[in-house]
Each structure stands twice: as C-alpha cells, then as structure tokens.
Structure 1
C-alpha cells in the first residue's frame, strides 16, 4: 500500500527528536516539529482517511467518478492548507501528496496515465484543476 506522506513526516519528526536527544543535531537546525505540528498531521490524516475509504471499487468506475474522488481529496487538502495560512504543504510535501494520490489510485486498478490522457492531461496533472497548495 502507498505510504502516506504523514507517515514519513512523523518518522522525520521522531528521527530529529532522537538526534536532538543524542546531541548530534544542532537545535538551531531542528525544524520538523515546527513544519509538521500534530494538528496539521491529524487534519491531513483525516482527509486521507476519507480518500482511502472512497477507493475500493473505484477501478471499475467511470472517469467522472474517479475525478470526483480526486477533486474531493484535493479540495479537502486545500482547506487544510488554508487553515495553516497557506503554508502547510511546500514543494516536497506537494509532490509527496500528489504521488500518494497517484499510487493509491493505481493500487485500486486505475490506470492514472490513461485516465489523464483521455482528458488531455499529463499523468502528473491529475490534481492541478483544483489544487491550491
């Protein structure tokens, strides 16, 4: 199963905490906990829970149904980003979230490349119509 970005973000926070405790990381260089506060992680996980719940059976759905699921997850992530003053998801996080959406759809028998092509999009443009992060 595709790994949620929040999982890797939590691992980064834990690793940074271990390095701080061991004295191998300068406290001035620590930023993970500030970048990914628990409130942001929890809100993002709530959105991803909903997205994942919509995936089973989607492989046999019409394109419009698949796009509706993508639209809902992107709009919900937009709301999370807005709640964090538009700075919840920077470039790396955006790429991770988009890759997660793509991988999750693929795991549920959606040919993302073909879906995108049928609608005149590149494979990695699936979220662009709605994404503000």
Structure 2
C-alpha cells in the first residue's frame, strides 16, 4: 500500500470514495440545472465530506491540506465534466472558482 493508505485508515478512504461516487452519479443526472440546484448539490457533498472528516470511527484522521485541495478540484472537475461552467457559476455568486465549497465545508 502507498503512503496515502498509511496516513489514512481504510474506513476514511472508503467513506470518502462512496461520497464522491454518489456525487458523480448525482452530477450525471443533472440536466440544465439552475445555479441554486448546483449549489445545493455542492452543499450536499460538502456536508457529507464534513461528516466523514469529523467521524470518530476514523481514529482522529481527517483530510489534510493536500487532500482538501484535491477534493475541491474533484468537485470542480466533476461539475465541469457534466456541463457546468464553474467559473461562470462562481462569478454569479461573487466568489472565486476555488471557493465554491467554502460556505459549507469544514474540512
């Protein structure tokens, strides 16, 4: 197993993977969503990841800076891959593209 597996317990990795798979599946179902629908979608994944990050079953392990950045990048890329113009979405909310999850995420 690699360095990542040594840093994080399997329970954290599996829970995160499941949350991201759900996010991607939900993104596949989006068709011409409003900004509010997209931000609600971002909120849901952000809150799911908060719960995973804070769950005591992971032995106190949580996301570090590099993983936080990767999670934000994954959210951005997934939305882009499903036809969402993330830069325009963020601009309409008057936030930087990298800040679209900030309202809801604690990780």
Structure 2 length as normaliser, TM-score?
A: 0.89
User: Which residue is 2:77 aligned to?
Assistant: 103
96 and 50 in structure 1: CA distance in 2 versus 1, 3 angstrom threshold: same
- Whether 1:67 and 2:39 are equivalent positions in the alignment is yes
Larger Rg: 1
- Whether 1:118 and 2:83 are equivalent positions in the alignment is no
Aligned-pair CA distance for 1:57: 4.2
Aligned-pair CA distance for 1:45: 1.0
Query: Mean alpha-carbon deviation: is it higher for 43-52 or for 73-82?
Result: 43-52
Count of matched residue pairs: 105
User: Which residue is 1:23 aligned to?
Assistant: none
Partner Cα separation in structure 2 for residue 95 and residue 56 of structure 1: 23
Partner Cα separation in structure 1 for residue 84 and residue 31 of structure 2: 5
Q: Secondary structure at the match of 2:101?
A: coil
Contact 1:58 / 1:110 at 8 angstroms: preserved in 2?
no
Contact 2:19 / 2:49 at 8 angstroms: preserved in 1?
yes
User: Which residue is 2:66 aligned to?
Assistant: 92
User: Which residue is 2:12 aligned to?
Assistant: 40
Aligned-pair Cα RMSD in Å: 1.6
Partner Cα separation in structure 1 for residue 31 and residue 79 of structure 2: 8
- Whether 1:80 and 2:52 are equivalent positions in the alignment is yes
Contact 1:102 / 1:112 at 8 angstroms: preserved in 2?
yes
Q: Provide structure 2 residue ranges, at least 5 long, that are not aligned to the other structure.
A: none
**Runs of 4+ off more than 6 Å:** none
